[in-house]
Amino acid sequence: MTEIIINGVEDLPRAAKVFLEKKGKASIIAFYGAMGAGKTTFITALCRTLGVKDDVNSPTFTIVNEYRSGAGEPVYHFDFYRINRLSEAMDIGLYEYFDSGSLCLIEWPEMIEELLPEETLKVQILTDDARTRRLLF
């Protein structure tokens, strides 16, 4: 198990860089954590580290946002918080995204747990206090 400690918002760029180095070849990454744990904030830091220039925000109502990395590669950001049925995830062509080989960053993966491929990297974000978070994967 790998642990990355994030000591406040100012530490996010370092933590994102370390995470990208340690994640291996995983392209489908599921972020688990309580409401307010920092899933969107960490995904934003990852996107910035990858050179994404677009505004990064949680696709709560659209389910998926597509960004472009600095290298021009697609980065997909999913938020399944409002999913009521697995068919809603399937309707957006979920497996086409997963099979693309592009980076897929998932918030609220518990809502589609049974659809996640076996190779999904599962990351737990734990809140230690108001400033400190721990990533476990």
pLDDT the model gives residue 104: 98
Number of folded domains that form the chain: 1
Domain of 40, in residue numbers: 3-136
The pLDDT tens digits along the chain (137 residues) read 999 999 999 999 999 999 999 999 999 999 999 999 999 999 999 999 999 999 999 998 899 999 999 999 999 999 999 999 999 999 999 999 999 999 999 999 999 999 999 999 999 999 999 899 999 99
pLDDT the model gives residue 54: 94
pLDDT the model gives residue 61: 87
- The Cα–Cα gap between 45 and 28 comes to 17
CATH number for the domain harbouring residue 124: 3.40.50.300
